[in-house]
Structures are given as C-alpha cells and as structure tokens.
Amino acid sequence: MTTELFGSVPKFGLGTFRLKDQVVMDSVRMALDLGYRAFDTAQGYGNEAEIGRVLAESGVPRSELFITTKIMPPNYSKARLVDSLCESVEKLGIDAADLTLIHWPAPQGEVAPEEYLTALAEARQQGLTRQIGVSNFTIEGLKQARAILGDVPIATNQVEIHPYLQNRALVQFAREENIHLTSYMTLAVGKVMGDAVLNDIAERHGATAAQVALAWAMQQGHSVIPSSTRRENLESNLKALGLKLTDEDMARIAPLDRGERLANPPHLAPEWD
C-alpha cells in the first residue's frame, strides 16, 4: 500500500503506545503484512528497538516506510536532545527518522521551549530527522513554537482528538494557520465501539463504529494512528481510508463532544485550550 499523505504526513499509520516486547513486534509484523507503512513510536514507549528489528526483518524498502518518534522530556536539554535522537535512530535501525516530535510542551518548565525547539531544529539540520513537529501543544504553545522556529516548518501537532473530545478551538486555529494535526486516541480507548450514534452511521455504510470514528477524523484533514494487537482489527481499521461520510453523518457526530480528555498526565499536561 502506498502511503497517502496530508501534506507531508501520512494520513494513516500504526500507533504503538503501551505496546512492548513481543506484543509490539507482533503488531508491527501483522501491520506490515496488511500494508501499513507508517509507524508512530516514542522514546518514552520503550519499544523503538523492537520496532526497528521487525522493520529490518520485513524486507520492506526504507523508502516505503514513514517512521515517527518523539523526544521524551528528560532529553529536552541542548546537551541531550541530539544525542538521544541519535540513540533512537540507531535503535530503529535507520539513518534518520522521517518525523521527530517534542512529546509534551514542557517538563514543568525545567527546559525552556527556546532550548528544546532550537535543539530539535538542529537535529533536523544534522540530518537525523527529515521533518520536525510537536505533540500536545496548545494554541499558545503553537504560537510560541512558530516564533522560535521561524522558517522551519512544523510538520504536525499530534493531539488527542476523538468524537468525545473534538478540540474545536485548537482545530480551528490550526486550520487558519495551516498547521497539520495528527489525532491520537481517535477511538477513545475503544469507547466509540459502544456508541449508538456511531454504530447507526456505521450500519448505514456497512462499516464499523471504529471505521466511522477514523474516517470522521480524516475527513477533517487529521492524520490518525490507531493501534491494535489483533490482526482483524488492524485490517478493519485500515478500511477507514475508503469510507466517505456524508455531511449529515458529520453533523450527527458533532454533538457527541463532551470534552472528555483521556490523556492528561498531571506532571506533563499544559493548561489545555
């Protein structure tokens, strides 16, 4: 399968949050077999080496793959960031990441955004990553990042977006400023599967509630990175790429927003929009 893009970022990829050891290896192996070519990991996930091993064993040409990783807060300092990305690239068995993100906006202010964003831009200049971006950044954080990075483009802001947390203010700002968003937890940790509205829409399309949620996010221009450890779910999720929701479907999903945030670690989370 060719990697369809939103700008310079794949529309659809495999997320690997909470997947470790043999579990992540099996998931990536099955995904590759099904045609997945974009993979999202992070230093903090503790699975870069396992993913790298499976990618190397797969025989899939590097040119067909899109690999995203994220810098974890303990590595934000100028002294650590570039070296830590070197370590990540080595674990992944690649010459450079396709995309590297700052995982959270600030580790309790211990390292200033000017320091870690400038260091990330330096890593790009050194060829350790082809693109850079951010994750969990608010509107104010994005404004600040833009000011610090200048002409260096922000490829994406990876944030929690699902039918129960539609993040409308951030989405509107990103659209106006032409900043791409990647939705994580698009399936709301499985909650969408039991939703009556999503299941009704799914039934009308001969689809699943999970496919509807993924298609809903992609129709807004967001990339998605759902994860699964089951082959049938990996295969089913991928079919969301071919699902086209109607304007009426999208309008029915809009009122499901209830501001339900699932990823909100107290030691890392910013003051959300």
Per-residue pLDDT in tens (0 to 9) along the chain, 273 residues = 557 999 899 999 999 999 999 999 999 999 999 999 999 999 999 999 999 999 999 999 999 999 999 999 999 999 999 999 999 999 999 999 999 999 999 767 889 999 999 999 999 999 999 999 999 999 999 999 999 999 999 999 999 999 999 999 999 999 999 999 999 999 999 999 999 999 999 999 999 999 999 999 999 999 999 999 999 999 999 999 999 999 999 999 999 999 999 999 998 999 999
| Dist. CA 200–CA 64, nearest whole Å | 36
Tell how far CA 248 is from the center of its chain: 27
All domains in the chain, ordered by first residue: 5-189+222-227 (3.20.20.100)
Q: Any catalytic annotation for residue 164?
A: no
Maximum distance among all Cα pairs of the chain, rounded to whole angstroms = 55
Total residues belonging to the chain = 273
pLDDT in tens, 155-165: 999 999 999 99
Q: The sheet that has 38-40: what strands, in order across it?
A: 14-15, 38-40, 66-71, 97-102, 129-135, 154-160, 181-184, 223-224
Whole-number Å distance between alpha carbons of 28 and 16:
8
Distance between CA atoms of residues 265 and 73, nearest Å: 13
Percent of the chain at pLDDT above 90? 96
* pTM of the entire predicted model: 0.97
Please state, rounded to an integer, the average pLDDT across all residues of the chain.
97
In whole angstroms, give the CA distance from residue 160 to residue 186: 7
Which residue in the list 36, 45, 76, 116 is annotated as catalytic? 45
Give tens-digit pLDDT for 5-19: 998 999 999 999 999
Pairing of strands 66-71, 223-224: unpaired
| 66, 149, 207 from 117: Cα distances, Å | 22, 7, 41
Express each pLDDT in 235-264 by its tens digit.
Answer: 999 999 999 999 999 999 999 999 999 999
Six token digits for residue 85: 């990305």
Strands (E), the chain: 5-6, 9-10, 14-15, 38-40, 66-71, 97-102, 129-135, 154-160, 181-184, 223-224
* Rounded Cα–Cα distance for residues 176 and 150 (Å): 17
Q: Bridge partners of 224?
A: 12, 183
pLDDT at position 2 = 56
Joined together, the tokens standing for residue 147 give 């000011």
Strand partners, 12: 224
